[in-house]
Amino acid sequence: MKDGISMTGGLKDGEKEEEFLHSPFIRKQGNIYKPNNKDMDNDSMNEKTMDDIHTKEIDLVNRDPRRINDDVVKVDFEDIIAEPAGTYSFDGVWKASFTTFTVTKYWVYRLLTALVGIPLALIWGIFFAILSFLHIWAVVPCVKSYLIEIHCVSRVYSICVHTFCDPLFEAMGKCLSSIRISATKEV
C-alpha cells in the first residue's frame, strides 16, 4: 500500500469510502502490468533480474515522455475554427461543431492507428534495425579506418612541413625582421 491506496486502487484498512471519493486513484508510475511499488517488496520479488531492453516497461499514461510531438500535433477545435466578435453562429451549431470535430478527430485517429499503426511500427522497426546495422557494421568501421589512415598521412605531412617549410620561413623571417616602417603624419 502506498499513500493510503492499495495497488488495486482500493482503500487502506480503516479509511472511509467518502475520503476515497474526493481523492481518486491516480497512478504515479504509468505501467499497470509491472508496478513499481516498493511496499510490495517481498521474498519472491527480491530476486535480482537483469534489465532486458526487450521487456522494457512502457508508460501507458505518459506516451510522449521526451515531448517530441509537443509542437506538432496539438490541434484542438479552438486552434482551427474561431469566430471573431460580431459574427457568431447559433450556440447549438457552435456546440455541435465542437463535438463533431473533437469526436471525429478522436475516432479517426484511433481507427487509423488500429489499421495502420502495427504495420508502420513493423516498417519503422525494420528501418531502424537496418540503420543501426549499417551504422555499427559499416559507418563506424569506415570512419575509424579513415582516421587511422589520415593519422599516417598527417604524420608524413607534418614531417614534410617541418623539414622543408620551417627552415624556409625561419630564413625569410630573419631576413625581413630588420625592416622597420615608420609613419609620419603631416599637418
For residues 23 and 58, the answer to whether their CB atoms sit within 8 Å is no
Residue type, 40: M
Q: Of 6 and 184, which is predicted with more confidence?
A: 184
Mean of pLDDT values over 80-99 = 90
Q: What dihedral angle (degrees, nearest 10) is formed by the CA atoms of 142, 144, 150, 151?
A: -170
pLDDT at residue 56, rounded to an integer:
73
Distances from the Cα of 183 to the Cα of 51, 95, 135, angstroms: 76, 84, 61
Rounded CA-CA distance 72/27 in Å is 27
Q: How far is CA 172 from the centre of its chain?
A: 57
For residues 15 and 4, the answer to whether their CB atoms sit within 8 Å is yes
Collapse the DSSP code of 11 into the 3-class scheme (helix H, G, I; strand E, B; otherwise coil) and give the result: strand
Residues linked to residue 91 through DSSP beta bridges, in sequence order:
none
pLDDT at residue 5, rounded to an integer:
46
For residues 58 and 32, the answer to whether their CB atoms sit within 8 Å is no
Res 95 pLDDT > 90: yes
Collapse the DSSP code of 168 into the 3-class scheme (helix H, G, I; strand E, B; otherwise coil) and give the result: helix
pLDDT in tens, 109-135: 999 999 999 999 999 999 999 999 999
For residues 48 and 16, the answer to whether their CB atoms sit within 8 Å is no
pLDDT in tens, 170-184: 999 999 998 888 888
Percent of the chain's residues with pLDDT above 90? 46
pLDDT in tens, 28-58: 554 455 555 544 444 444 444 455 566 677 7
